[in-house]
């Protein structure tokens, strides 16, 4: 029995290594793809404010900061990337 095991141990190890290697390669490929799925761009800085301050006029940066709707909030559109 030990002789039989010794006879097949090397081919067995090779098979295990090959299967392990394939599994490892697949896992690495999955992980690589997941890791390369990056978050979208941060929003740009808002614009300047004049001497009237943020209140009492139609202050675009303050309105963008408070807006609940995306088109008013000047958020980025990453869909062309």
Partner 1 sequence: MLILLASATAGAQDYPQPRPQPRTTDAAALLDVARQREIRERIELGFREELKGDWKRAAAEFGRVLTLDPKEPQGSTARYDLGLAQAHLGQLDAAVASFGAAIALDPDFFAARVDLIAVNLMRNNLAAARRAADEMLARHPDSARGLYERGLIALKSGDAATALHDFGALLQLNPTYATARYDLALAEMKLERFADAERDLRAALAVAPQFARARFALGAVLLRTGQRDQARLAFEAAAQSAQDPSLRELANSMRDSIKN
Residues making contact with partner 1 (CB under 8 A): 29-30, 32-34, 36-40, 42-57, 59, 61-62, 64-70, 72-81
Whether the Cβ atoms of residue 74 and residue 64 lie closer than 8 Å to each other: yes
Compare residues 1 and 38 and give the one whose CB is closer to partner 1: 38
Q: How far is the CB of 15 from partner 1 (least distance, A)?
A: 18
Q: How far is the CB of 54 from partner 1 (least distance, A)?
A: 6
Nearest C-alpha neighbor of 73 from the set 52, 46, 54, 53:
46
Compare residues 6 and 34 and give the one whose CB is closer to partner 1: 34
User: Residues near 65 by Cβ (< 8 Å), separated by ≥ 6?
Assistant: 46, 73
- Which residue is associated with the tokens 């978050």? 39
């Amino acid at each position: 029995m030990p002789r039989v095991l010794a006879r097949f141990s090397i081919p067995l190890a090779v098979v295990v290594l090959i299967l392990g290697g394939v599994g490892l390669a697949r896992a690495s490929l999955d992980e690589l793809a997941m890791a390369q799925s990056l978050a979208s761009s941060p929003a740009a800085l808002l614009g300047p404010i004049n001497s009237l301050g943020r209140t009492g006029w139609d202050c675009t940066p303050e309105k963008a900061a408070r807006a609940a709707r995306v088109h008013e909030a000047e958020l980025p559109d990453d869909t062309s990337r």
